[in-house]
Structure 1
Amino acid sequence: MIRRKLMMVERIMYVDHDTPINLVFTAKIKGEIPEENVKAALKKIQQKHPLLRTGIDRQSEKYPFFTEEKEIESIPLRIVERKTDHDWLQESEKEWFRLFKDEKKPLAQLVWIKGTNVSELLWVMPHCICDGTSAVALMRELLGLLDNPSFEMNPYPIFSSVDDFLPLDFNLKREKRKARLYLLMARFFFMMQRKSKKKNIGDNYLIHWREDSSITNRITEKCKAEGISVHALLCAAYMQAFKEIQGKQAKGKVISPVDVRHFIPEIKKDHLFAFAPTVELPLKKGNQSVMDNAREIKKELLQKIEKIEARKLLWMGEQMHPLVDRMITMLKSSTGGHDITLSNMGRIDIPNDYKHFTLETIISPTVAFPWLNSNTLVTTTYNQQMDFTFMSNEHFLPKEEALKIKNKATELMTSFV
C-alpha cells in the first residue's frame, strides 16, 4: 500500500488544493488509431507507474501525502474534434488550469485531438509527479502500446522516502547539525523579507516556434566546431537578448534544471519523478560576444554540475518542510534574480515510424507557473528540428516584449550560421 509524504520540491510544485501547476506534453501523429487501443494503453501505463494509482491526501496529516487508492478510476481520456492545426495550443491552455482534486481519479489525463488521419495526443499531469524526462517516457510508452497493444511493461516499486537514496557514507549526525543551522538561517532570511503585495495577475501565454532541420543542423555543427554546447549557446543568446531588450532591468542570469537521473541512477528514465536540481548561470560583464559568453557558460555549467550532491540535496530539502509555505509565498511575489528558467531537453528519444502510424513531431512541454516571475523556455529536438515553448504572464513580461526577446535571441543564435 503506497503512502508517502510529498517531498519538499513536490510540495512546492503542488502549491495547494486550489492552485494547478500542470505539465502538458504534445505529440502529433499521422494515421488512424482505434479508441479501444488508446484506453488499453492507458490502463497498462497506469499499472506500471505507482504514482498514477495514487491521489493526494491533504487532510489526514500536517503535510500532504501520496496515497494509493484501491478503487482508483482509469486515466481519463478526453476526445476533442480536430478543426485546425492550432487546436493543441487552445487545449493546452485549458489543461494548464485543470485541478486534480478528486482522490478517486488519477493524477493524469490524456487529451486526444482527433482528426481524419491526423491527431494530437496531449499528456496532462501535475508537475508535482513528473519532470520532462517522465513526460517523454509516458509518451514513448503510449505510442509503443498504440502500435503494439500486446506489449507488456513491468511495474516498479515506489521509494518510501528520500532516505532510500542516501549514500552509504552519509553522516546523519553531522548533516542534522547542518540542517538545523540552515533551517535557522532560512527562518531569519524569511523574517527579514519585506512582505510584497506583488503577484501574478496577468494572463499566462505561450509562444511556440520551431527551427527547420537546416538551421538546427547548422547550429549544432557550429557549436561542435566552437567547442561549446547548444545549451550554453541558448543561455548566452537569451541573456544577451534580455539585456538588449530590457536594458538595466535585465538580471543577466538564467536558471537551468538538470536531470536528477545523472546523479541518482536508481531513478530510471522511465520512472516518474519530479525533482530537478538547478544551476544558476550568469552573463559575464563586459562586451563579450555571444560565442565567448557561451564558452564561459559551458565551463561554469560543468563546474557547477560536478558539485551537485543530489542525494544530499533531496535529504536536506526534507528538513525544510516547515518553510515550504513561505517559499511558495516568495515565489508568488518576488521578481527573482534571474531573467528566465531555461530547460533544454535535447534530442527526444522516441521512434518516428510505427507500423500503424507516423510520429510527425513533438511539441516541447508547456506549463503555466503561478509565480510572479514565470518566464520559462523549454526546448527539444526531434526529427532534426529544434522546438521551442516560451511561457510567461502578461503582467510580468508582456507577450509583445517576450516576442522581441525571442526574435533577438533567435537572431543572435543564427547570425553566425
Structure 2
Amino acid sequence: MTVRRRLSPYERVVWAAGEALPATIAAAVHVEGATTPDRLRHALAAVRTRHPLLGARVERTGPWRAWLTTRDVPQTPLRVVTAGAGRPLTRVMEEELQRPFTAATGPLARFVLVDGGTSFDLLAVFHHVVADGHSAAIVIRDVLEHLAAPATGRPVVAAPPADGLLPGPRVRPSDFVKLSRSLRIPGQASGPAPACSPATALTCRTWTLDRAETSALLERCRAEGTTVHAALCTAFARARRVPAPTRVAVAADLRRILVPVPRDSVGLYAASFVLPVDPGPGQGFWKRARDVKERLHRRLNPEELRPLVAGFRLMPLPHRMITALLHRSEKKSARFDVSLSNMRVSIPDRYGDLRLTALHGVAHTTLSGAPLVILVGFGGRLFLSVTSTDPDAAGLCERAVAHLRAAVAPTAAGTPALARPES
C-alpha cells in the first residue's frame, strides 16, 4: 500500500530545518539472546509495513508544499557490525548521528546490528520528521516482538500529523504570538554558545543508574515534592559553573494533549521550549528544584504546548527561506546551553527468548555544540546519554550527577554515583 500525505506546517519546518541542520535521533538497545541479520531484515520489513513513515521520503512539489510518500523508496538499510571489532557502541552512535538522511530519496529510518553472538545491540536511527523518542521505543518493541514471534497481517498504524490532533480551533492568532515569544533567545546573560567548526568531533557518552540508585533518586524527589526532570534541570544549571541562568531546552511529549492520542503511531509528536534555570547557589537544592517543577508544570500546560505546533500554520514561508533562516540563526548563536529530554519507556523487557536489558536515546539536532542530554527510564533504571562537540560535555554530566548525589545522600538508602562514562 502506497501512502502519500502532505507535510503539515509543523512537519514542514522540521524537514526544512533538516536540510541545513542535523535532524537525527536514535535509540540504542542491548538484547540478551541471539538473532541473525536475515531474521532482523525480515522483522524490519514487517515493522516498516506496519509503520509506513519508516519507509517514506519527502517529495517537494513547490516552494510551499511537500509530501511524505512511500512510493519508490529503497529497502530499509541494515548495517552489520561485529562486536569487539574495535567499534564500541558509542562509536557506532557517533558515526550514525553524523550521517545525514537524503530526504528526497528516503527511507528516513535505518538500523545497525552489533552482533555479539549470544547477545546483540540494535541501533535504530531516524530523521526527526518521522519519529520522536516514544516512536523509537515503539519501533524497538515491534521489531523485538516480530523477532520473537513472526506475524503477518498486523494492521497498519496511521500516523496523522500532530497539527491535526490539537484540541481547540484550527487557528488562533494568539498561537502565533506565543510561538514568536518561544522562538526568541531568552537569558542571553550567559553568552551565546559558539558554533562548532567542521573539524570538531561529535562524541556520545552513556551512563546507567542501577535500580538502587534510581530508586533512591525517585524516592527523594517524591519526598521533596518535585520531579526527576526538575532535579536534573537544577543539577545541570549548577554544573555549568556560571552565575547566570542556564538556558535549558526541554523536550515536551505532545501525545498527552492530542485527541485522539496517537498511542502506537510512529511520527513526530514532540516539541521543545527553552526554560531559563537559575542555579540558585544561595538556595537549597530541593527548594530550587521545587521552583523549577512549578515552572515546568506551567509550560507543559496544553495551552502553552499548543502554540509550539499550531503557530506554524500562521507562518507560511517557503521551504528555502525556512532553511536559510534557521541555518543563519544557528550559526549566529545557540538558543540553549543544554538540552534535557526525560522520558519513561513502558515497553516489555522480555520477547520470547530475548531480553531487553538497556535502552539509551541519543540525538544530533544542533550545530552549536550545546550538549544534548537524554534520560530514559526503563526497567527500574535510568539510562543517561550526552551528545555534543563540547569537550566538557561528559564532565558537565558528571558534575551534574555529583550535585544529585550530594542532594540525595543525606536521607536516601543509596546514592546515584556515575564515576565514568560507559564505552
TM-score bucket (shorter structure): 0.7 to 0.9
Where do 1:13-412 residues align within 5 Å? 14-17=16-19, 19-58=21-60, 60-63=61-64, 65-83=66-84, 87-101=88-102, 103-150=104-151, 152-159=153-160, 162=163, 164-167=164-167, 170=169, 172=171, 175=172, 179=176, 199-201=195-197, 202-242=200-240, 244=241, 247-248=242-243, 250-284=244-278, 285=280, 287-306=282-301, 308-322=303-317, 324-325=322-323, 326-336=325-335, 338-346=336-344, 348-362=345-359, 364-393=360-389, 397=390, 399=391, 401-412=392-403
- Name the residue aligned to 1:193: none
Give the whole-Å Cα distance in 1 for the aligned partners of 2:371 and 2:86.
25
CA offsets, 1:246-278, max 9 Å, x none? x24x54331211100011042423212224233
Change in CA separation of 1:282 and 1:290 when aligned onto 2, cut-off 3 Å: farther
Contact 1:37 1:149 in 2 (8 A): no
Contact 1:42 1:74 in 2 (8 A): no
Aligned length: 393
Give the whole-Å Cα distance in 1 for the aligned partners of 2:351 and 2:231.
34
Change in CA separation of 1:68 and 1:127 when aligned onto 2, cut-off 3 Å: same
Change in CA separation of 1:405 and 1:120 when aligned onto 2, cut-off 3 Å: same
Contact 1:46 1:74 in 2 (8 A): no
Q: Normalization by structure 2: what TM-score?
A: 0.83
- Give, in angstroms, the shift of residue 371 of structure 1: 2.6
Change in CA separation of 1:341 and 1:71 when aligned onto 2, cut-off 3 Å: same
Greater CA drift, 294-303 or 92-101: 92-101
Secondary structure, counterpart of 1:277 in structure 2 = strand
Give the whole-Å Cα distance in 1 for the aligned partners of 2:183 and 2:374.
33
Contact 2:248 2:338 in 1 (8 A): yes
Give the whole-Å Cα distance in 1 for the aligned partners of 2:29 and 2:54.
20
Q: Which amino acid is the alignment partner of residue 46 of structure 2?
A: K
Change in CA separation of 1:188 and 1:332 when aligned onto 2, cut-off 3 Å: closer
- Give, in angstroms, the shift of residue 105 of structure 1: 4.0
Q: Which structure 1 segments of 5+ residues have no match?
A: 190-195
- Give, in angstroms, the shift of residue 157 of structure 1: 3.3
- Give, in angstroms, the shift of residue 217 of structure 1: 1.1
Greater CA drift, 108-117 or 74-83: 74-83
Give the whole-Å Cα distance in 2 for the aligned partners of 1:188 and 1:370.
16
Change in CA separation of 1:280 and 1:385 when aligned onto 2, cut-off 3 Å: same
Q: Normalization by structure 1: what TM-score?
A: 0.84
- Name the residue aligned to 1:192: none
Contact 2:81 2:113 in 1 (8 A): yes
Q: Which amino acid is the alignment partner of residue 257 of structure 1?
A: A
What is the CA RMSD across the aligned residues, in angstroms? 3.1
- Give, in angstroms, the shift of residue 67 of structure 1: 3.4
- Name the residue aligned to 1:413: 404
Change in CA separation of 1:403 and 1:55 when aligned onto 2, cut-off 3 Å: closer
Change in CA separation of 1:128 and 1:102 when aligned onto 2, cut-off 3 Å: closer
Q: Which amino acid is the alignment partner of residue 275 of structure 2?
A: L
Give the whole-Å Cα distance in 2 for the aligned partners of 1:298 and 1:182.
21
Q: Which amino acid is the alignment partner of residue 282 of structure 1?
A: P
Give the whole-Å Cα distance in 2 for the aligned partners of 1:188 and 1:215.
38
Q: Which amino acid is the alignment partner of residue 70 of structure 1?
A: R
Over the matched positions of the two proteins, sequence identity in percent amounts to 22
CA offsets, 1:271-299, max 9 Å, x none? 12224233433334561121111111111
Change in CA separation of 1:296 and 1:376 when aligned onto 2, cut-off 3 Å: same
Change in CA separation of 1:310 and 1:153 when aligned onto 2, cut-off 3 Å: farther
Change in CA separation of 1:10 and 1:128 when aligned onto 2, cut-off 3 Å: farther
Contact 1:335 1:372 in 2 (8 A): yes
Change in CA separation of 1:318 and 1:203 when aligned onto 2, cut-off 3 Å: farther
Q: Which structure 2 segments of 5+ residues have no match?
A: 186-191, 410-423
Greater CA drift, 227-236 or 91-100: 91-100
Change in CA separation of 1:20 and 1:235 when aligned onto 2, cut-off 3 Å: closer
- Give, in angstroms, the shift of residue 339 of structure 1: 2.5
Secondary structure, counterpart of 1:318 in structure 2 = helix
Q: Which amino acid is the alignment partner of residue 285 of structure 2?
A: V
Secondary structure, counterpart of 2:74 in structure 1 = coil
Secondary structure, counterpart of 1:280 in structure 2 = strand
Q: Which amino acid is the alignment partner of residue 32 of structure 1?
A: A
- Give, in angstroms, the shift of residue 131 of structure 1: 0.9
Secondary structure, counterpart of 2:300 in structure 1 = helix
- Give, in angstroms, the shift of residue 188 of structure 1: 12
Give the whole-Å Cα distance in 1 for the aligned partners of 2:225 and 2:245.
26
